[in-house]
Amino acid sequence: MVARQHVKTADERSTGRLYKELALGFFRVGIFGFGGGPSSIPLVHTEAVKKYKWMTDDEFGDILALANTMPGPIATKMAGYIGYRVAGMLGLLIALVVNVVPTVIAVILLLNLLAAYKDLPVVNNMASAVIPVVTVMLGVLAWDFVKKSGDSIGWAKAIFAIVIAYVAMYVLNIHPAFVILAVFALIFSPLLTKRRKRL
Amino acid sequence: MIYWELFLAFLIPGILGYGGGPAAIPLVQVEVVDRYGWMTNPEFSEMVAAANALPGPIATKMAGFVGYDQAGVLGAMVALFASVGPSLLMMIVLLNILWRYKNSPYVKNLTKWVRPVIAVLLVVLTFQFFFDSYEINGAWITVFLVIGAYILLERVKLHPAVVILLALGFGAVTTYI
Residue B46 pLDDT class (50, 70, 90 cuts): confident
**Structure confidence at residue A145 (pLDDT):** 87
Cross-chain residue pair B57–A37, CB shorter than 8 Å: yes
Contact A130, B168 (CB under 8 A): yes
Cross-chain residue pair A129–B94, CB shorter than 8 Å: no
**Domain ranges within chain A, ordered by starting residue:** 11-130
Q: Using alpha carbons, select from A109, A112, A4 the residue that is nearest to residue A58.
A: A4
**Structure confidence at residue A1 (pLDDT):** 40
User: Is residue B23 predicted with pLDDT exceeding 90?
Assistant: no
Overall average pLDDT of the B130-143 stretch: 92
**Structure confidence at residue A12 (pLDDT):** 56
CA angle in degrees (0–180, nearest 5) for A8-B161-A137: 85
Least-confidence region, from A47-61, B17-31, B38-52: B17-31
User: Which carries the bigger pLDDT value, residue B80 or residue A115?
Assistant: B80
User: Is residue B106 predicted with pLDDT exceeding 90?
Assistant: no
User: Is residue A3 predicted with pLDDT exceeding 60?
Assistant: no
**Structure confidence at residue A178 (pLDDT):** 84
**Structure confidence at residue A154 (pLDDT):** 92
User: Is residue A176 predicted with pLDDT exceeding 60?
Assistant: yes
Q: Which of A30, A65, A129 sits opposite B55 (nearest CB)?
A: A30
User: Is residue B73 predicted with pLDDT exceeding 70?
Assistant: yes
Distance CA A87, CA A82 (A): 8
User: Which carries the bigger pLDDT value, residue A194 or residue B70?
Assistant: B70
User: Is residue B19 predicted with pLDDT exceeding 80?
Assistant: no
Residue B145 pLDDT class (50, 70, 90 cuts): very high
User: What number is the ipTM of this complex?
Assistant: 0.77
Phi, psi of A124 (to 5 degrees): -65, -40
Q: Which of residues 9-48 of A touch B (CB under 8 A)?
A: 28, 30-43, 46
Distance CA A155, CA A159 (A): 6
Contact A61, A145 (CB under 8 A): yes
Contact B55, B39 (CB under 8 A): no
> Chain A contacts of B14, Cβ < 8 Å?
71-73
CA distance A16 to chain B (A): 22
**CB–CB contacts below 8 A, A to B:** 328
